[in-house]
């Protein structure tokens, strides 16, 4: 059984917007999966449902066989979520923020003190930020720095599933590159599956073992990036993406 | 100028389209007009008491030698349209039928004719809900008589109040009332900051984009609620300690160093414990309700404005203190009234204090339950949008209902 099974997910926001119309997909353990699609397609909505923040109108999500709607507490022990609009408690230093996130997570899983301390050190290393920077309050951080703190803390706890909503948005070229390698490495070494979204198709091609293309709340294509490109008769993922969307909209974009 | 006009219109739209700003505009009117009504009632009661309006008065000669003086007092009071008659018997028994008993003690006439101070003893049946009137009535007696007696300035009154089944001197009653008022006012120093800090704790989660992260962490929602309530109360208590200490120093300065401890010596240890439990129960309620209301807003500012609603009943509690403390089971359930009943327990007794504290704790439990339920549902992140939509829907419906 796959690590994550999303089945027939529908979401109508209070107010009537139908953001998802039957989304189904799977993520295997240790797999890196991308959810790509235009603005407003439903990526963030899907992530927030899996992360137990929103409830689906219908459909179901199983994480390691745990129904995230019925047993959100169990599901939360297995996942981490870094939202698209990244922030942080501005009164805390970067290091304190990491400690807080890592400790809250691992304590709930019943980890021992030493294990927690190691994870904190690991997270500190993963940020790629200097001790000096980590000693500063988050109110002095740039958006990219805050994202590095949260992604590092998320990956350091070795979750079964890490949900990263546009993890490289706002990061400089070097930091984005560092983060991509980090994601690959953590997935390979720790066996954490990563479900992420991105508007950078080069990044998706580099990172993803599997891509789901979502459009207006529906999955319209899926597969390994190479296969999607081939099937669409395109030269690269970006072109394939454009063709597939255009096909759906019956003409030009 | 166009720039100013455009910017002005933008700023005004930003402010006036914010529900919490509208609330901040309307609330003061509601509050102060409610206060106005209460003060008007209070001052009319006090002035009626001062003119002895609505009292049935018995004048009792304490000895045969004082009969004539008693008759004179009856005549003087009658001339002022008081409902008064000469009576015999013990003041306590007479208070069953009269609201005010004036005892003319032996020696009163002699003192008056010799140009010495002469003292009347006044017994007053008072109700808890008209405390201000009760403390005003004895001086009313002096005032009315002084106008009729030549040597009015030598007239003294020693007043005892029969209230809630007990007799006490008017001085003691005044001391209890001012101590009670002080304690009730002190609770304001706790309730307001606690509520504001609680609002900050939800508002900043939203402003700092951390609510989604917090809600995805493996933490029981109950723990989230509890830690927010406790931290709001701890920091609120610090703010309260600072205000109360400052207030104390200010009072000590005003009373020439006479310490307020004189007042508080009237409370038994048990009553003090009840008071602190009442404050704690109120603080828990204020924090829980503020957390709950804050979920319906999007920012710290919005949260702090909407939580005014949570603290509003505290003002009601403070106002009741001015007019008197009605011992009415319906009021036990009003939030923060437990502080009033605990502060005035030397007058109102223990039952109202315990009952209202219990009610407050039950209410707190209900609010915490609802808050935890909201945190456990997606309402934690959708409540503000839902409220906004409801308000907008209401406005749209109202607009559609307009003719044309
Ligand atoms: N809280 C909300 N209330 C109502 N509608 C919402 C809410 N959040 C999102 N939507 C709507 O749901 C749809 C999907 O939004 P979502 O945020 O999931 O898109 P997305 O794929 O993440 O887009 P982007 O690439 O811009 O991040 C959109 O039509 C959006 O307007
Ligand atoms: Mg999104």
Reported as a single tens digit per residue, the pLDDT across B103-162 is 999 999 898 888 888 899 999 998 888 888 888 888 888 787 777 766 557 888 889 999
- Residues of chain B with confidence (pLDDT) below 50: 404
Distance (Å, whole) CA A241 – CA A220:
10
* Among the bound ligands, the one closest to the CA of A45: 1
Residue range A245-251: mean pLDDT, rounded: 79
Of all protein residues, the one whose alpha carbon is nearest to atom 7 of ligand 1 is A13
Pocket of ligand 1 (CB under 6 A): A 13, 15, 17, 19, 37, 39-45, 84; B 385
* pLDDT value of position A82: 97
* pLDDT value of position B260: 58
* pLDDT value of position B250: 74
Q: Quote the pTM value.
A: 0.87
pLDDT tens digit string along A98-124?
999 999 999 988 899 999 999 999 999
Do B363 and B285 contact (CB within 8 A), yes or no? yes
- Looking at chain B, which residues constitute the CATH 3.40.1710.10 domain(s)? 52-163
Indicate the burial class of A169 (C-beta count within 10 angstroms; 0-12, 13-18, 19 or more). Answer: middle
User: How close, in Å, is residue B364 to chain A by CA atoms?
Assistant: 25
Report helix, strand or coil for A75. Answer: helix
Least confident residue range of A6-10, A38-42, B1-5, B283-287: B1-5
Q: What are phi and psi of A9, to 5 degrees?
A: -75, 125
Domain ranges of chain A: 1-72+200-253
Fold category of A1-72+200-253 in CATH: Rossmann fold (3.40.50)
Residue A253 has pLDDT above 50, yes or no: no
Of all protein residues, the one whose alpha carbon is nearest to atom 3 of ligand 1 is A13
Is B212 close to A48, i.e. CB distance below 8 A?
yes
Percent of chain A's residues with pLDDT above 90 = 86
CATH 3.50.50.60 fits B52-163, yes or no: no
Dihedral angle sign, alpha carbons of residues B233, B238, B239, B245: positive
Q: How many other CB atoms are there within 10 angstroms of residue A165's CB atom?
A: 23
Residue A227 has pLDDT above 90, yes or no: yes
Best residue in A15, A53, A150 for a mutation probing chain B (most B CBs within 10 Å): A53
Give the Å distances, CA to CA, from B36 to A33, B28, B30, B178, B314.
Answer: 66, 12, 10, 21, 16
* pLDDT value of position B151: 56
């Amino acid at each position: 059984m796959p690590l994550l099974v999303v089945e027939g997910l529908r979401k109508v926001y209070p107010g009537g917007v139908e953001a998802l119309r039957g989304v189904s997909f799977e993520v295997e353990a240790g797999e890196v999966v991308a959810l790509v699609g235009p603005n407003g397609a439903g990526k963030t909505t899907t992530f927030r449902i899996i992360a137990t923040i929103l409830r689906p109108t219908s459909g179901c999500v199983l994480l390691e066989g745990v129904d995230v709607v019925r047993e959100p507490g169990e599901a939360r022990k297995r996942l981490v979520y870094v939202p698209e609009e990244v922030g942080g408690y501005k009164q805390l230093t970067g290091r304190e923020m990491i400690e807080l996130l890592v400790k809250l997570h691992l304590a709930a899983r019943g980890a021992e003190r030493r294990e927690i301390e190691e994870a904190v050190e690991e997270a500190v290393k993963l940020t790629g930020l200097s001790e000096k920077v980590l000693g500063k309050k988050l109110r002095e951080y740039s958006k990219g720095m805050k994202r590095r703190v949260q992604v590092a803390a998320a990956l350091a706890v070795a979750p079964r599933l890490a949900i990263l909503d546009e993890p490289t948005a706002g990061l400089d070229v070097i930091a984005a590159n560092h983060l991509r390698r980090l994601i690959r490495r953590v997935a390979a070494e720790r066996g954490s599956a990563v479900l992420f979204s991105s508007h950078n198709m080069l990044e998706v091609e580099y990172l993803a073992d599997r891509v789901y293309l979502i459009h207006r709340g529906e999955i319209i294509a899926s597969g390994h990036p190479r296969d999607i490109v081939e099937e669409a008769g395109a030269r690269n993922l970006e072109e394939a993406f454009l063709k597939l969307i255009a096909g759906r909209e019956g003409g030009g974009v | 100028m166009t720039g100013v006009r455009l910017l002005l219109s933008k700023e005004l739209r930003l402010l006036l389209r914010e529900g919490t700003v509208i609330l901040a505009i309307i609330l003061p009117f509601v509050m102060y007009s409610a206060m106005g009504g209460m003060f008007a009632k209070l001052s009319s009661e006090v002035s009626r008491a001062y003119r002895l309006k609505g009292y049935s008065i018995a004048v009792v000669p304490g000895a045969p030698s004082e009969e004539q003086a008693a008759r004179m007092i009856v005549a003087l009071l009658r001339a002022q349209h008081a409902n008064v008659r000469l009576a015999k018997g013990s003041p306590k028994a007479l208070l069953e039928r009269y609201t005010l008993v004036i005892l003319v003690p032996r020696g009163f006439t002699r003192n008056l004719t010799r140009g010495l101070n002469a003292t009347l003893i006044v017994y007053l049946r008072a109700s808890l809900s008209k405390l201000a009137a009760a403390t005003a009535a004895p001086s009313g007696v002096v005032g009315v008589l002084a106008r009729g007696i030549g040597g009015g300035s030598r007239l003294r009154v020693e007043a005892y109040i029969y209230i809630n089944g007990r007799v006490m001197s008017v001085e003691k009653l005044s001391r209890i009332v001012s101590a009670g008022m002080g304690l009730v006012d002190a609770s304001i120093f706790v309730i307001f900051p606690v509520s504001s800090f609680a609002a900050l704790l939800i508002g900043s989660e939203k402003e700092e984009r951390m609510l989604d992260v917090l809600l995805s962490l493996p933490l029981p929602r109950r723990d989230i609620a509890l830690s927010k309530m406790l931290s709001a109360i701890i920091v609120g208590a610090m703010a309260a300690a600072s205000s109360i200490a400052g207030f104390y120093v200010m009072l000590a300065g005003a009373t020439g160093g006479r310490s307020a401890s004189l007042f508080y010596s009237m409370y038994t240890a048990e009553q003090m414990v009840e008071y602190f439990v009442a404050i704690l129960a109120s603080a828990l309620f204020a924090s829980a309700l503020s957390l709950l209301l804050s979920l319906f807003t999007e920012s710290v500012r919005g949260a702090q404005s909407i939580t005014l609603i949570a603290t509003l009943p505290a003002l009601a509690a403070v106002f009741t203190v001015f007019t008197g403390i009605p011992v009415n089971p319906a009021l036990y359930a009003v939030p923060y009234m437990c502080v009033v009943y605990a502060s005035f327990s030397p007058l109102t007794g223990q039952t109202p204090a315990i009952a209202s504290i219990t009610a407050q704790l039950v209410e707190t439990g209900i609010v915490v339950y609802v808050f935890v339920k909201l945190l456990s549902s997606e309402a934690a992140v959708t409540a503000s949008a839902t409220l906004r939509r409801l308000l907008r829907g209401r406005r749209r419906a109202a607009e559609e209902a307009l003719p044309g």
